[in-house]
Each structure stands twice: as C-alpha cells, then as structure tokens.
C-alpha cells in the first residue's frame, strides 16, 4: 500500500502536543497515539508495506493482509501469529518471576569480555549486577576493572517466560511485549 493512501486510512493530522513544538503530527484513528510527523511519511513505509491497518497504536497493530500482530519501534519490527514462540533471549521475552529476572540480568551482562557476572536483589524491584572486564574488552581503560549497574524491574508485572501463542490474543500480547522490548 502506498504511504499516503495508508495514512489516509489509519490516521489524521493534528497539531503537536509537545511543548514549544508547532509542527503537525499524524495521530492514529484508533487511539489517537502518535504515528509520525508530517514531512516524515516515508519513515513509516514499513507499516504501509505490511498494511498494519487495524488497532494501530504507537508501536502495535494488526495486519489483515498477513493475519499477524506486529510490534515495532525505530529499532525493529516483528509479526506474531498463532504458533509464534517466545524464548529466552528474544526481544519479547519477559521473566516470569524474580529468580528468572536475576538470571536474565546476569545473561544480559555476560559475554566474552567479562570474567564473571553476578547479580543479587538489593531491594524490591532492583537487582545489582556486577562484573569484571577481561583484557579482551576493546576499551583498554576497562581492562580488569570492576563494573556494575542497577537493573530495575516491576515486581508486580512479570511476564510469561517462555511460551507459545495459542490464540490471536496471545499473538497481540507478544507484539506488545516486543514493542516494549525494543523501545
């Protein structure tokens, strides 16, 4: 679908609601969320090409053409359907409990440039992750240095862990989780 035809179907133009921004914005007909700026129409060609025309929000929508729910941000786009899987390491993966979240934090920071990576809960919703850099890290200033970061999570909003979409509602949930994972 051509981009201007697509936008005429799924969006309307309105004034920006951003302070001190006098530009015009395309807003979704579905929920009035931001789609793109006037003048940047070609930046959403990937949505028009997939004909994501139903329940279009900022980052999630359905394509009757593909019969898939899509999630996206400026970084990536992916379509989900019945049978789609969610595995550890996927952008749409969400830990199912605190123990799984701690393992996920360790795995995120573990690679060939770290001697070790450890993590522990410091308080509700926070994990402290620490590592030691190996001399293989490209930044020589970091060789054998200790690094650390506080990893935050919502202890009241865990995901499903690894799972398979059995319904289109499940596929939509995967698209939403993908959007959150790449945003």
- pTM given for the model: 0.86
Give CA–CA dist 143/31, Å, rounded: 50
Task: Kindly give the residue spans of alpha helices, DSSP state H, lying in the chain.
Answer: 3-10, 45-50, 98-109, 168-182
pLDDT tens by residue, the chain, 183 residues = 999 999 999 999 999 998 999 999 999 999 999 999 999 999 999 999 999 999 999 999 999 999 999 999 998 999 999 999 999 989 999 999 999 999 999 998 899 999 999 999 999 999 999 999 999 999 999 999 999 999 999 999 999 999 999 999 999 999 999 999 998
């Amino acid at each position: 679908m051509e981009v201007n035809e697509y936008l005429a179907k799924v969006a309307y133009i309105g004034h920006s609601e951003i302070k001190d921004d006098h530009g015009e914005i395309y807003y979704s007909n579905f929920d009035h969320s931001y789609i793109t700026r006037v003048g940047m129409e070609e930046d959403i060609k990937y949505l028009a090409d997939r004909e994501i025309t139903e329940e279009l929000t900022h980052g999630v929508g359905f394509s009757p053409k593909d019969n898939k729910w899509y999630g996206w941000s400026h970084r990536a786009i992916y379509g989900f359907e019945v049978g789609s899987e969610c595995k550890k390491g996927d952008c749409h993966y969400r830990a199912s409990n605190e123990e799984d979240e701690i393992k996920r934090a360790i795995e995120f920071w573990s690679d060939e440039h770290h001697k070790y990576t450890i993590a522990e809960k410091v308080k509700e919703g926070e994990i402290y992750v620490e590592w030691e850099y190996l001399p293989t890290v490209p930044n020589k200033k970091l060789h054998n240095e200790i690094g650390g970061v506080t990893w935050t999570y919502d202890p009241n909003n865990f995901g499903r862990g690894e799972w398979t979409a059995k319904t289109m509602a499940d596929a939509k949930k995967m698209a939403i989780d993908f959007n959150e994972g790449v945003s």
